[in-house]
A and B are shown apart, each in its own frame.
Chain A
């Protein structure tokens, strides 16, 4: 157990629907990052939050949004889902911002859009 908790582990939904993925960071970590990993692809950075504020944005679609709550858990909202959104979505956390430390990853949510 890495200390980063992601729910649900698996999600199957239809095109056009909306889903919410949840992440609880490791205790003491203030930064949360979301990554998308498609089949046979690398990890694509989506967005980062630090202590409730958005800090960096990557290749995140306008149909996707995220937020970090006061208790530091984060949610990634995916709407108007398309078949191509099927992927593994990983959350990672780290201690802070501006210093160089590795991330701790959760075990991911596998999203299947049918």
Chain B
């Protein structure tokens, strides 16, 4: 069945350091993955996505890596800033009707 989970519930990083948030998924049929950021009191916000025919995709200060062999997804944030403090969710799309399954989330705390 579908199962998306995260390795670490809370991650604390020093401002300016790089952050790496990890995610494991179990549905090998998933072909589209998304990272969302959710700040306190707000809805999830799209950060970056990656399709299964890629293993790396870069955005502004963020990089997503996909390892289909071990069903692992990671989000790298360069030069982490206080504004990056939030809960980060990985999600996979494995349904023809765009049903996206979310992981439980990792809380990123940036230490000034």
Contacts and interface: CB of A to CB of B under 8 A. Distances in A.
Is this pair of chains taken from one and the same complex? yes
Interface of A: 2, 4, 31, 33, 35, 41-43, 45, 48, 50, 55-56, 58, 90, 92, 94, 96-108
B102 A94 contact: no
Contacts of A56: 95, 97-99
Interface in B30-47: 31-32, 34, 36, 41-46
Contact of B100 (A2, A98, A103): A103
A31 B44 contact: no
Interface string B32-74: 1010100001111110010100000000000000000000000
Contacts of A43: 44, 89, 102
A21 to B, nearest CB: 13
B37 to A, nearest CB: 11
Interface of B: 31-32, 34, 36, 41-46, 49, 51, 89, 93, 95-105
Contacts of A104: 46
A103 B45 CA distance: 9
Nearest to B30: A100
A11 B45 CA distance: 23
Nearest to B34: A102
Q: Interface centre among A31, A58, A97, A103, by most B CB within 10 Å?
A: A103
Contacts of B41: 107
A97 B95 CA distance: 10
25 contacts: A2-B45, A31-B98, A33-B100, A35-B102, A42-B105, A43-B44, A45-B101, A45-B102, A56-B95, A56-B98, A58-B99, A92-B44, A97-B96, A98-B96, A98-B97, A99-B98, A101-B98, A102-B34, A103-B100, A105-B36, A105-B43, A106-B43, A107-B42, A107-B43, A108-B43
